[in-house]
Amino acid sequence: MSGMFVHTADVHLGFQKKEGLAQLEREIFDNMVYWCVDQKVDFVLMAGDLFHTNIPNMEVQKHAFSAFAELHDAGIPVYAVYGSHDASPVHGSVIDLLAEGGFLKNVHAPEKLDDGRIRLGFTIDPKTNIKIAGLPGLKAGREEAYFKMLDKESLEAAAGPKIFMFHGGFTEITEGHKGDSMPISLLPRGFDYYAGGHIHETIKSKYGDAPVVYPGPPFAGYHADLELNAGGMQRGHMIVRHDHGKVTDVAGIASRPKVEYLTIKVDAEGKTAKAVDEELMYKVAGAVPSDKVVLVTVAGELSEGKAADINLIGRADWLYDKGAIAVELKHHRLASKKFAVGKVQPKGTRKEMERAVFAQHMKEYKGPRPELMGEAGLKFAATVLRVLSQEKREGETKDDYEKRVINPATKLMMEHADEAEKAA
């Protein structure tokens, strides 16, 4: 029996907070769903990061359930592995509600063996009899350790057409792409299709004779994603045709909205902040942003002035007033050479290196806060750095992280300022 299925990943529903971009995010996902229903695909594979957080806001949840209901009512199964953004070992996850409601099937079905290895079960698609197994994406680069625990022999010995799903990078395929990677030899052999997620570009490679495919995000929304979209890279939904489970073709994008992008770039290298601001104003004034997503990038080391002297927000407001769907701002290295840190020789312990960097900064500081200079300033900077260096814990929400780390650091700085004012 010949047929086709759709492979998608890294949808990141709920990523966008700006209404224009959020609308595009929803539209792109809906178009994929409608296309699958219209074409009566056999099933849909979702290789992780369906949501940007494990518990997105209620509007995102309602929209997702509505879309999955369309697939469910059309009799189209959805098979998924969770990405590092989807699930949390500490808190609940909306994706678990979708699974409990029968809107998708989590194909990660582990069984721990007596020797400590992990045996994965197969989910069998009732229409095609294709077997599907997979592993979720894990945080902090722990995928490799999990892959090494796999009982690959049982996976490889299973007869019939089969698909392996995963959310992670493999060095031989994804080298040069952002994120951790592991040797491709950790993948079980003998599968007919390897459905990947996590890499935000479209990649089609091989493992043995079988395709290893990363569809890339349909939209996502990191500035780099939008730049790739603006450059014309087609990503997000791979249409996979098969004959009795044997893959015959991997191609195409199921559906994308026709969105125009406008890119405005200013090279700030060696220029004054005033000159950069004037150049940006000139380029913005000559732009036609109506009904477009506008990407503004200003990068380089200033010869004089500071980043705050460049009116990025004001230029963005002008673009919105002229009808831009959304304006995304990116600035890089916008520090004046006057305030640049000199080269610090890599000697001593980490604390000694940090102290040397702070001391270099303080030589340039001419502000009205003497308590930020000298030994007192060095001790205070080290204390604040120690508080802010705490990493976000696995499963910790942004609000919880801010309460635990950011808020105490802010309070510490305010108390320091109050003490200095009293002493003065």
Burial class (CB in 10 A: 0-12, 13-18, 19+), 268: buried
Chain centroid, CA 266 distance in Å: 26
3-class state of residue 334 by DSSP: coil
The residue whose two tokens read 């290298």 is 269
Show Cβ contacts of residue 348 under 8 Å, excluding neighbours closer than 6 positions: 356
What whole-number distance in Å separates Cα of residue 183 and Cα of residue 165?
16
CB-CB contact of 47 with 166 (8 Å): yes
CB-CB contact of 104 with 80 (8 Å): yes
How far is it between the farthest Cα atoms of the chain?
Answer: 84
Strand partners, 63: none
Look up residue 20 and give its two tokens.
């224009």
Look up residue 109 and give its two tokens.
């079905």
> How far lies 102's CA from each of 68, 97, 106, 252, in Å?
10, 9, 10, 28
DSSP one-letter code for 210: E
The residue whose two tokens read 């104003």 is 281
Reported residue count of the chain is 424
Neighbours of 112 (CB within 10 A): 11
Taking Cα atoms as reference points, which of 123, 128, 90 lies closest to residue 104? 123
Q: Which residues are identified as catalytic?
A: 85
Long-range contacts of 283-291 (CB under 8 A, 24+ apart): 284/315, 284/318, 284/319, 285/318, 287/262, 287/319, 287/322, 288/262, 288/322, 289/262, 289/319, 289/322, 289/323, 289/324, 289/327, 290/322, 290/323, 290/324, 291/260, 291/323, 291/324, 291/325
Taking Cα atoms as reference points, which of 147, 140, 141, 144 lies closest to residue 110? 147
